[in-house]
Structure 1
Amino acid sequence: MQNRGLITVFAILFGLVSIYQLSFTFISSKVESEAKEFAQSKYSENEPDLREAAEARYLDSVGVSPVFLGIDYNTAKDKELNKGLDLKGGINVILEVSVKDILRGLANHSKDPAFNQALENATELQKASQDTYLESFFKAFEALPGENTLASPDVFFNKNLEESITPLMTNAEVKPIIERKIDESITSAFEVLRKRIDKFGVTQPNIQRLGKSARILVELPGAKDVSRVKKLLQSTAQLEFWDVYKFEEVASFLQAADNRAGEIELAKSGKTAVKETVEVVEDTTEAAEEDDVSKLLGGQDVKDTLVDDNKANPILSRMVSLGNQGSPVIATFRLKDTAAVNGYLRMPQVRSLLPTEMRFAKFVWGLPSPNPQLKGEETTALYVLKGNRDEVPPLGGNVVVDARQEYDQMSRIVVSMQMNGQGAKVWEQMTGNAYQNQSQIAIVLDDIVYSAPGVTSGPIAGGRSQISGDFTVNEGQDLANVLRAGKLPASADIVQAEVVGPTLGHEAINSGVMSFAIALIIVLLWMIGYYGRAGVYADIALLVNILFIFGILAGLGAVLTLPGIAGIVLTIGMSVDANVLIFERIKEELAKGKSQKDAIKDGFNNALSSILDANITTGLTGLILLVFGTGPIQGFATTLLIGIATALFTAIFITRLFIDSYTRNGKDLPCTTSMSKGLFTNVNIEFLKKRKTAYIVSSVLILISLTSLFTNGLNQGVDFVGGRTYTVRFAKDVNSAKIQDDLIATFGSAEAKTYGGNNQLKITTKYKVEETDTAIDEEIERMLYETLKADLPADMTYEAFVGDQEGKSIGRMEYYKVSPTIADDIKRDSFWAVFGSLIVVFLYILLRFRRWQFGLGAVAAIFHDVLIVLGIFSLTYTFMPFSMEIDQSFIAAILTVVGYSLNDTVIIFDRIREYFGEHPSWKMNRVIDVALNSTLGRTMNTSFTTLIVLLSMFIFGAESIRGLLFAIIVGILVGTYSSLFIATPIMYDTVKRKKIEDLIDIKKEEEEALEA
């Protein structure tokens, strides 16, 4: 081997760099273990929050202290091997910025009927379209009757766009301008979110815009407070300052509104009003004295107005307490009743009761808080803002130039803001009016009143103000953060979300490491037992390969996931396959009577073509996965591609270095042992004679598969149909059928399946799947908790059920949500991934073998394998003891099966082509049969070692990838069969003898190129 010294130096340097890159991971893990031990020594298991705080303090105190070779913890943490959510726990969301909101803003909130109708029509089109929202809007706008122009003064020719758009422009000229403005707004949203996340305090956050779409991926490994993250990401930070009405100015309207709403409800039901007396839960800090309230309500008795019949008094019957005279709080309601109250207050018949001077009043709610008198149930206050015709606040949040969390004189957490000069002037005027009128100013963020303070010491100059509330330190920091980062240009909905608790992450790491170790040990022992000393060299190359893979992952900052570990385990099999090919060819050359030196040289050279073909075809499917996949699937593809490259290097060069060094002095290296000697040497199976039987067997299997696919279908996961999935763990075994019935009663449709042990369920529901609001997510989780409450520990609260503290063993362990819109996109991308891989593979084989018959045989075998795998999933998903959902991981499995099947088929085709050159006088069927028999040892050996590593991962690995591994295992079994009995026979039945000479010439050209 030429350049032996250069390759040796390169391998040593590459190994040292890999060790250096991985050293950061070992250092950070060591310090974090010490921090955990410190926290455990200070606080008990019943104090998880205190433990977490102590751990954070410890890490902060030692962050810059050198640990090893001058490397400190902070540096090591930044450069450690990134672990994905499924290994570390955390939160992964895809946000979709509302293009509809951006269009409204660009049109200056136009009231034009055609514009607003086009927006609504575009929303409907989106439900069944793969177009972007903007494309749907353009189609909807142009489909409206009449001549509607985008450059109309009522649409996009306004003060926002007058520098870009003129009234004489055509729609075709306006469209690219609007597209550019939309793209700028989404880029702005991305930057705002990035600034917020940078201040969040999570190590190794990842935020990226998905292509040119309106979607933004945010990954926060290790984040535990889901509600905090959602608020941080979805808050538009639309800060406004409004004058607010006092209780006594609105009380009479509230009574009249209740009466009118009651009349409407009773008219609908045909009932008459019934007055009853009910008990009112009064808030002692805000509720008015009963006599005062009676006067404000026109002398009526309060308890007579608060009736239990919601139809007669639909507003006041829901009230918890009334406000005080002079207070901006009108009344307090349960949080769950706010939607119903909003509905009544928005009724035209109810709003018509407002006095003329209040006709633009805005009804908004305050921050929710637990009410002790209602057993902690959350309540919120109703405020009425002094709105105007344009719905523009007297002062907006764009004047805020700085914000920070501080403490007031009472040691309460507040958020202080500093305004610019223009804002300071308006603020001084507003506070002056409030002081003179003894009124309040409401500080409103995203339509929620955070506080409504009065002004007691005259106008406030200088533009300083405070937002007060019952904040925690984190809430204060987050609020200051979003105000400082700026507002989002539009609302952002969470269209896909994944929450993994840290306990599941630790379990996944433990199971992944164990399955990886078991697989590795078995493969190492097998190679030694089958190939002897040559197997030892292959094992060394395999270990170096694994070191290189992890070193490259760490150096690139790539994220290691559970599917990524599966990809690494799969590369073990591929690395072994390359060595198996080499050793089998060396044995063949020795059997021909060649000297050991020549046999080794020719063995490596003859195997190289097959190794390259096999790895390139698998690499092509990996590239397809990388392009079309997201999240963990990209992790799988990344490790697979890295593994292919390192496996090639170690098999071709590292193994060769050891073999050449050992045999340099004439030492014998037979590449066999007493166990393997003679295996597969005298095999003479007439494969082509059995092809008709194989065709019949395969036809029956495909027919059964197609029948099942058309009747049973597939168990499509939420990736493809949308919905919410929860992994819930109980203290004891539960009856999944009974719980499923309970969930159906709650949600209308739901599925509960045993997931792992009998004390863990995977629960899926499509209830309110179209709604992406955070409040809906919480509502569904509360409904889930109430439904499962009977099977949970009696003392488990809702907060404990959804919490994600480390070491948690009961409750919601994992959460995954996909909206129907993104589910359609995932399904489409998955189809193109599979279809694209088939096209790419066919073209590659056509290029390599220059005959379409070879490509046809390979693609037919792939179709055969994929259909049978799909059929098995369709037939068995109802009773298998693990999840067999068709999701993105399954698509990764299918493409892996495609790659493996091709790997096998291409090696066989390459040997057939070689034998045509060596035996031109043989009949075609003899050439093919002999070629198939000669590759049988390699086929069985590679299939066995690959199956061993996959079975190890399947048995001992994490539950979440068991379906993926099962699909690959089935695919390898079917793929091994199809390479021998489908791909090759189809090629034989379609190729003509006169074309064989072309194959011989191509093979000779390749051999000459390799020798050169």
Structure 2
Amino acid sequence: MQGKGLINFFVILISIACLYSLSFTFVTHKVERDAVAYAKGDPVKERAYLDSMATVDVYNLGFAKFSYQYCKERELALGLDLKGGMNVTMEISLKELISNLADNPKDENFKKALDNAEARSKDSQKDFVSLFGEEFKKLNPNGKLATFFANKDNAVNNITSNSSDGDILAFLQKESGSAIDRSFNILRTRIDKFGVTSPNIQRQQGTNRILIELPGVSDEDRVRKLLQGSAKLEFWETYDNSEIFPLLENINRTLASTLKADTKSTSSVTAADTSAKDTTGGRLASLGGNKAAGSDSTKKDSSTVALEQAKNQNPLFAVLSPNIGQGPQGQQMLGQGPVIGYVLQKDTALVNSYFNSAEIKAIIPGNVKLLWSVKPVSKETKMFQLFAVKPTGLNAGPVLTGNVIADARADVDQRTNNPQVEMVMNSEGAREWRKISAAAAAANPKKAIAIVLDNTVYSAPTVQDEIPNGVSSITGNFTFEDTQDLANVLKAGRLPAPAKIVEEAIVGPTLGQAAIDAGINSSVIGLVVVLIFMIFYYNRAGLVANIAVIFNVFFIMGILASLGAVLTLPGIAGIVLTMGTAVDANVLIYERIREEYALGKGVRQAISDGYKHAMPSILDSQITTFLVGLILYIFGTGPILGFATTLLIGIITSLFTAIFITRIIFEWMIKKDMKISVSYPWSDHTMKNANFGFVKNRKKFYAISIALTVISLISVFTKGFSLGVDFSGGRTYTVKYEKAVNLEEVRDHVNGTFGVTSEVKTFGGDNQLRVTTPYLIDQTDDAADKQVLDKLNEGLAKVQNNSYQIVSSQKVGPTIANDIKISAIYSVIFSIIVIALYILIRFRKWQYSVSAAISLAHDAIILLGIFSIFDGILPFSLDLDQHFIAAVLTVLAYSINDTVVVFDRIREYLREHRAKNEPLSHVVNTAINKTLSRTIITSLTVIFVLAVLFVFGGEVIRGFSFAILIGIIFGTYSSIFLAAPIFADLQGDGEEKNTKEIASTERGNLKPAKA
């Protein structure tokens, strides 16, 4: 094997990299097990333990140490369906944004155009701004958009009364994109406040939607309230640190006297705290007036008792580090500016509880407000700044609000070349800003103005001079990303674009744990089935393939961890399927090696030729599968994206392990003179001399396929399907009763309560149901959600003597449901076209391409037909949803995988047999029979794994695994009985055309063969 040393090096390098990536997961799980053992069932103590470990080094590699927080950010995260939590899709209201940009005009045509655009957006793929432009032109053909948008606020964007409609629409497109960016940043900041582990927030490109995943969240009402609240931008005057420090000392003394009575119950120290380094106690305690106690607490080997005593005597300063600087002689002195202290993230909740206690509220003046910084000072220390701002005026509030901002943009200081933010105010704001800035600049020391969004300080720049024209430059220790974020925050105050929840899925932790168990069980059993079968059929070579499969799973998990991917239940299904198909390349190689052995070749030559001859089929089959996975990745969202990611990674790792790792092992075995067997005596002759008349009997199979296709189409167009909520819109709830229930009884109660026909199906056992209702489908606000839930509970509660719980829910608005449905249709059609084009390019004959496309369409239609015919008959969900589309695309990938292997053998035989003048039908039939063993073995392997997934994978993906299982069966059938025979018919009459003519076509020259 060429380059064996280099390949060995890569195998070792990739193995080390994967082990390194997965090691963070092992470390965090150990810390979390320690937390559970320490807390003994108390979730508050468990959370406190983990918070205290955030900055503690828990992973020591010798050359580097990593904190728990660092490891947690790099562990293999679990998705909602495995961990429980909340999945939300937010939609930015561009209707309100456009109205705000036009100063909310009263013009009826303008408002009607917005309403019509909103109605059309539910079914159209065009963006909202374009729809608004079309509707306005319909209602007012001679009207000009500039009439509404040429105002003083938009003048900074060169919008005048002479601007064309095209200019206005371009401006609106730009502003809508900017509004989505601003909302994204605001939502991201709000999410950080939840304290969620491994949150995921991403823009859905090309839309005005933002996808948010919050694993572990249980307070759904709080999430909805915080995510949908309007952004509140304000400018506040600030206090200087020296003005507030006496107040902090007073708070510290008051807390100490209050806590003195019961230090045990109110101590902020946990066992985890004492194991961490106390970096603030001594210095802070001495400032608080108890030098001896403070100094004692900072000794490296101080006892736990001394540390407890110090923190009880100085409870505030034990966790809050005042703003202290160095004086001219090196002595400590109070720092200047609006920052009054620094607190570790893990201690911010404790400090808040101090400030909110009745005793401390009584001593904090009404004209002092304490606010946190939006970001930590550094990511490593997780230290947040505390600011003191001054309520002013009659309303005791900010000096200015965000509606005075006309524009803000990230810029560069021309003198220093450092990033800065340029802020432009409207005329009203400029007048006020002049007075405010003059007073702040005249103060000694100069005052800072805090820029506050949602009660969080984004920046607090010190005012250097009076600003007369409302144009300000904000400088500081900024990165370019910081200035972009701050500019977005400033613009958010002027252009409020409300974000509404249009899709929502809530998974309870109980369902999450059940999904984890199902996923692990199916993965382990699937792996065992594959390993046993390979050894059972391929003898010692099967053991080599098994080593490659284990490496493959290890590489997949390592790469997922290194990419920061989230592991979902469909992702686990992808891994299980990859295990089933990882042996495909090995099967191709082993079947070829067996053929080479049959020709009398020695071990080394047989193995070498087996790898060489199998390579074209391996590459063609895996590339087509990869293309389908890529399309699934592009069009898919949420869990389907996780499935596609796993599938793509699995294809790459399968190729690497099957081609290189098995070859390395074979080379080592040859070097050690070990016997290499690729079969047992009984399996060596399996289908070896197969000579079935596939082409001869093709018309019978055509008739069977046509009949099945017609039946499927009739059912599709007459009976139709049950659409999942992500295709139809509405709300879906998974309900679990304590005891088995009568399905009809529950359905009658629910339908009677809602007043509309809702779908009620069993979901798993007799005590678990899935309820899908279109009730209030067009309303997605919180009030509608509550009304639907109340109605549902009213209906469910009518079942006598049987308690229940709603373990998960999902909400999808009609607009997003339509978008998902259209994307799904496009993805299937696009997949078939891409595969056909690849085969056309690769095989250079349209007959291959067309026969493959027909075969794929046949598989997709029959799968649709089965889901239509058996919906409501089989005891599990056969809804058409995103999971089903993923299943269809997977089926197409594996179907074309088999087809391409047969096509490769046909192409090979056409070249080899061109001198024999054999009929094309004979060559095609021989190719099918020669690859029959590989096709059946690979399909059986996949079917075994899918059967395991179907039985043990859990109810959540039972329909998904059933679709792939049935699809693989029909995909195998179409590869053998349809694709190759159709190619023969398209190429000629299927019987008489000889190989000389075909072979010359394969080489690019078409000419009549001589008689």
Match for residue 657 of structure 1?
664
**Equivalent residue of 1:224, what SS?**
coil
Shift of 1:1004: 8.5
Task: Indicate yes or no: 2:787 matched with 1:822.
Answer: no
Contact 1:205 1:220 in 2 (8 A): yes
C-alpha change, 1:854 and 1:24, in structure 2 (3 Å) is: same
Q: Which residue is equivalent to 1:977?
A: 973
Q: Does 1:749 pair with 2:757?
A: yes
Structure 2: distance between partners of 1:830 and 1:499: 23
**Paired letter, 2:695:** L
| Deviation of 1:674 (Å) | 3.3
Match of 2:291?
A: none
Structure 1 residues 134 and 203: CA distance shift in structure 2, 3 A: same
Aligned counterpart in structure 2 of residue 782 of structure 1, from 776, 790, 795 = 790
CA distance in 2, matches of 1:656, 1:240: 66
1:373 corresponds to:
none
1:407 pairs with 356, 359, 363, which one?
356
* Residue aligned with 1:656, SS: helix
Partner of 1:960: 956
Structure-2 residue corresponding to 1:637 = 644
- The C-alpha deviation readout for 1:413-465, integer Å capped at 9, x for no partner, is 9997579xxx9999523469xxxxxxxxxxxxxxxxxxxxxxxxxxxxx99xx
CA pair 595-182 structure 1, distance change in 2 beyond 3 A = same
Distance 1:177 1:67, change over 3 A: closer
Pair 4,74 (structure 1): closer, same or farther in 2 beyond 3 Å: same
> 2:128 matched to 1:130?
no
Q: Which residue is equivalent to 1:557? A: 564
Matches for 1:357-368 after TM superposition, within 5 Å: none
Aligned CA distance change for structure 1 residues 822 and 682 (closer, same or farther; 3 Å): same
Give the whole-Å Cα distance in 1 for the aligned partners of 2:587 and 2:545.
9
CA RMSD of aligned residues (A): 3.0
2:356 partner letter: Y
Q: Which residue of 1 aligns with 2:839?
A: 845
> Which residue identity does 1:931 align to in structure 2?
A
1:121 maps onto 2:116 in alignment: yes
Render the CA deviation track for 1:235-276: whole Å, top value 9, x for unaligned. 0145899xxxxxxxxxxxxxxxxxxxxxxxxxxxxxxxxxxx
Rounded Cα–Cα distance in structure 2 between residues aligned with 1:819 and 1:958: 27
Deviates more, 1:642-651 or 1:75-84: 75-84
1:219 aligns with 2:213: yes
3-state DSSP of counterpart to 1:676: helix
**Aligned 1:477-492 pairs, distance under 5 A:** 480=455, 489-492=496-499
Any unmatched runs of 5+ in structure 2? 236-339, 342-347, 372-387, 398-435, 438-451, 460-488, 1005-1011
Q: Which residue of 2 aligns with 1:540?
A: 547
| 8 Å CA contact 1:570, 1:946 repeated in 2 | yes
Query: Per the alignment, in what secondary structure is the counterpart of residue 689 of structure 1?
Result: coil
**Matching residue of 1:9:** 9
Secondary structure at the aligned position of 1:429 is classed as: coil
Are 2:154 and 1:151 aligned? no
How big is the shift at 1:702?
Answer: 0.8
Corresponding residue number in structure 2 for 1:915: 909
Residue equivalent to 1:875? 869
Residue 393 of structure 2 corresponds to which residue in structure 1? Answer: 428
User: Matches of 1:500 and 1:156 in 2, distance apart?
Assistant: 48
Distance in 2 of aligned mates of 1:841 and 1:896: 13
1:938 is aligned to: 934
Distance of 1:511 and 1:832 partners within structure 2 = 32
Distance 2:25 2:676 in 1: 39
Q: Which residue is equivalent to 1:1009?
A: none
User: How many residue pairs end up in the alignment?
Assistant: 779
Unaligned runs of 5+ in 1: 44-50, 242-400, 433-461, 464-476, 797-809, 1006-1012
Q: How far does residue 752 in structure 1 lie from its aligned partner after superposition?
A: 1.1
**Deviation of residue 793 (structure 1)?**
7.2
- The verdict on how the C-alpha distance between 1:923 and 1:723 changes in structure 2, with shifts beyond 3 A counting, is same
Give 1:818 shift.
0.7
Separation in structure 2 between the aligned mates of residue 771 and residue 33 of structure 1, nearest angstrom: 44
Q: 1:106–1:156: 8 Å Cα contact kept in structure 2?
A: no
Pair 483,789 (structure 1): closer, same or farther in 2 beyond 3 Å:
farther
Q: Report if the CA contact (8 A) 1:115-1:155 is conserved.
A: no
Deviation by residue 1:79-116 (Cα, 9 ceiling, x = unmatched) = 10011111111111110000011111101122233322
Conservation of the 8 A alpha-carbon contact between 2:581 and 2:941: no
Q: 1-side partners of 2:115 and 2:523: how far apart?
A: 53
Asked whether 1:710 is paired with 2:717, we answer yes
Asked if structure 2 preserves the Cα contact closer than 8 Å seen for 1:237 and 1:482, the reply is no
What code does the residue aligned with 1:140 have? E
Counterpart of 1:407, as a letter, is N
TM-score under structure 2 normalisation? 0.73
**Residues 861, 80 of structure 1: alpha-carbon distance in 2 compared, 3 angstrom cutoff:** same
Cα offset, 1:71, TM superposition: 4.1
Instruction: Give the alignment partner of residue 531 of structure 1, picking from 538, 547, 566.
Output: 538
Q: CA–CA distance in 1 between the matches of 2:778 and 2:713?
A: 32
The residue number in structure 1 matching 2:731 is 724
Alpha-carbon distance between aligned partners in 2 of 1:8 and 1:239, rounded to the nearest angstrom: 58
Q: SS of the counterpart of 2:976?
A: helix
8 Å CA contact retained: 2:920, 2:994: no
**Is residue 846–residue 855 contact of structure 1 (8 Å, CA) maintained in 2?**
yes
Q: Which amino acid aligns with 2:73?
A: D
Q: C-alpha distance in 2, partners of 1:482/1:699?
A: 68
Counterpart selection for 1:62 from 31, 53, 63: 53
User: Counterparts of 1:1001 and 1:608 in 2: how far apart (Å)?
Assistant: 24
2-side partners of 1:889 and 1:156: how far apart? 48
Question: TM-score normalised to the size of structure 1?
Answer: 0.73
- Are 1:926 and 2:922 counterparts? yes
Contact 1:151–1:165 (CA under 8 A) maintained in structure 2? yes
Give how far 1:816 is off: 0.8
Separation in structure 1 between the aligned mates of residue 104 and residue 890 of structure 2, nearest angstrom = 50
Aligned to 2:473: none
3-state SS of 1:200 partner: coil
Instruction: For 1:736 and 1:179, locate their aligned partners in 2 and report how far apart those are by CA, in whole Å.
Output: 50
Q: SS where residue 539 of structure 1 aligns? A: helix
> How far 1:181 sits from its partner (Å)?
1.5
Separation in structure 2 between the aligned mates of residue 967 and residue 204 of structure 1, nearest angstrom: 32
Partner amino acid, structure 2, of 1:8: N
Kindly provide the amino acid, as one letter, of the partner of residue 198 in structure 1: D
Contact persistence 1:108–1:158 (CA under 8 A): no
Distance 2:760 2:595 in 1: 56
Change (3 A) 1:162 1:596: closer
Q: Call closer, same or farther: CA 1:595–1:426 in 2, change over 3 Å.
A: closer
Which of residues 599, 607, 612 in structure 2 aligns to 1:605? 612
- Deviating beyond 6 angstroms after TM superposition, the runs of 4 or more aligned structure 1 residues are 401-404, 411-416, 423-426, 482-486, 1001-1005
- Percent identity, aligned pairs only, is 46
Shift in alpha-carbon separation, 1:479–1:793, aligned structure 2, 3 A:
farther
Q: Give the equivalent residue in structure 1 for 2:172.
A: 178
SS in 1 for 2:394: helix
Whether the 8 Å CA contact 2:632–2:640 is kept in 1: the answer is yes
CA distance in structure 1 between the aligned counterparts of 2:358 and 2:583, rounded to whole angstroms: 70
